Every structure is written in structure tokens, then in C-alpha cells.
Amino acid sequence: MRIKALLMAIVLIFFGPLANSAALSIDASAAIVMDVESGRVLYGNNIHQRRPMASLTKKMTALLAAESGRLDEIITIRPEWIAVEASNIWLIPGEMITLRSLVYGLMLRSGNDAAQTIAYFLAGSLPDFSVQMNNRAQNLGAMNTNFVNPHGLHHPDHFSSAYDLALIARAVLKDPFLRVVVRTERFAVRQDAIEAPRIWHNKNRLLQIKAGADGIKTGWTRAAGHCLASSATYSGWQLLCIVLNSPDHYGETLALLQWGFANFRPHLMVQRGLFKGYVAVVGGQPAYIGVVAAHDYWWVQAKSEESAPLMTVELPTSVRPPLFALQKIGELLIEFNGEIVGRVPLLSDQASRERSWLRFLARHIVSYAKFVLWPLVHIT
């Protein structure tokens, strides 16, 4: 199977893109390719099917750790926290280590002891941490996901889908700290009272075998099979890929990523600062303000696609002061095939203060006085 997938990747490289996804031969039970920037699904097979996810679970554990704001806090390891079967990074009771270093051990070496330590440290118990994991998954739109532990050891009520795991991977790649972690090939952490540091090498071999690969996480259990969450960047454009229960997780991932880069192209639809109209400010000074796009919006489109997304400006007919510069006024909706695929906030391009009637009256008195006195001033 590995030879077949690698041959497919070679064909893509040297003979150009395949006409469509039907030409791909992928044996993974579920697979997806997603554009990281827009979230558009470029390829999918059984993407909403609930399946065991093995250590791809740890992406959510890492995400909660990164978002906790406690990365530089020092943790003293307790024996009950590390009572879990391997794979482990072999933490020692009484050892002191930062949460930041634990995340590296979690993601590079897939440490189950690191996962449990993070859960206990952040939530006090595994069930409470699972609640946090599920809440965050719901927030991301991962509706076919349920976590019962932070590491991914098999449990019948612990499952996700390729699509949900892609949503979580996308959140990981958008986090500045985790974006660095998942592309790190080697990390050294000092051990207490020992001169030699721990050296952790990333288990994700895709980082060594594909140029541009920059993440994310490997996974395996007997029930889940070989799983891989991966990402790669080409000319500033990043795709992610999930394969679940794949007979050749590296080979099939290479083929899927290469297919995505060969068959699609990113297009800048909205540029940051793009002017999108005026809004009246009732009782404001000035009485009208412009609105501009808050950020760039890129859309990935197949080379064979002729239709493009539609853009709709949603703005109130009027607003009231005071308004600050760069205050959100409305939205630019991006729609494709009847579905909202993106939203860009529209911001005020300047401030507008409440018009003072005293100032208004004074300005008109001054104007009237200038009008009345103008003949006298200009008599020669």
C-alpha cells in the first residue's frame, strides 16, 4: 500500500494534477484535505463518520494548555498523575517542569503521562478536563466528537470524525505557540539534578520526508489503526490533512496533500482596508463614515471551477455616535453554493463624535457674523 501511495505522489509531481478526487485511490477509512485559511474542504471521504482517534486526541489537550495562559507555570509531578500506560515521556514523581515543556513532550513524543498531567493541572480531574475538551470542541463546531480522556487510549465513548479533527487541527495551526510546537523536530528540556537534558524527537516522520511539512500529530491504537493529522505549506499557502485507520498513513497523506496543491489555487478575494461603503451617523460629526474590511480573505478554488463565491455587504442603514475608529459596524459575507463560507468584519474608517448643539449653534453664529461683517471688512 505504501508503494502505491508513493507512486501516486510521484505521478502528481511529474505529470501534473489529477482531473478530480475520484482519480485518487485512498484506502483510509476516513480522510479529509482542508484549506487552513478558509476552512474549505478540498477532499473528503467519510468525513463525518464517528471513529476512534487515538493520540490525535492530544491536539485538543495541547490547545487547552496553550489557551490557558499558564504555559510558563512550573508543575510538580504527582505520582497519581502519571499512572497511565505508554507511550510516555517518563515523568518522575516530584519532578518540576513547565506546562510549556509538557506540551512539547505531549505533541512530539505523544506522552500519555504528559497528557494526564496537563489535565490534572488545569482541571483537577480527568472528567472535569474532558468537559473542557468537549466544550471547546463544540465551540469549534466539532459536533461528532466526544472526549473522555486527554490522551486517546481506547474507550467506546471516545470518538471524533475526520472533519471535526480537521477543525481542531486548524485551531492548533492558528495558535502562535502550537504552530511552532507541531513543526519542531527536536526539543531539549533540562531535568532537575541531572546535567544531561531530555531530548525529544518528533514522531511525525512527515517533517523529514516532505518539503514544506509543518505539523501536526501521529496516532495509533489497535482500535483506531494508524492515524495522522498533518499540514504542509507551499508558497505561503497551507493545507491540512487527516487520515484515519490508514494502511499507509504517510504515503496516503503525501498523495492527498500533493493532490490538493496541484488541483487548487488560493485567490485573494478581500484585501485588508478595502472600502465597502458609507454609513450615516445620526447626530454625529462627521455625519457619514466609511467602512473597510478588517482583514484579508483568501479563497481556495479548483482550477476546473468556473463559479466563484459571492460577497454580500451587511450594514445598518444608520448608526448613532459616539463611534471609535476601527469599530465594528457590519460584516462582509462570503457565500459559495448557497452556504456562508466566510465572514469579514467591516470597521469604521474614522471616529464620529456626538454633535453638540451648543457647538452647532456657535458655528452658525460665527458663520452668520462673518456673512454680516464681510462687506465692512472688505470696504476700501
Q: Which residues are catalytic?
A: 55, 58, 110
Cis upstream peptide for 286 (omega within 30°): yes
Q: List Cα–Cα distances, 64 to 42, 189, 228, 272, 307, in angstroms.
A: 27, 21, 20, 30, 39
Task: Round to whole Å and give the CA distance between 80 and 84.
Answer: 9
Q: List Cα–Cα distances, 235 to 8, 83, 211, 250, 265, in angstroms.
A: 22, 44, 12, 22, 11
Residue 313, amino acid = V
Pairing state between β 318-319 and 275-281: parallel
Q: List Cα–Cα distances, 23 to 18, 201, 252, 260, 351, in angstroms.
A: 6, 36, 13, 13, 55
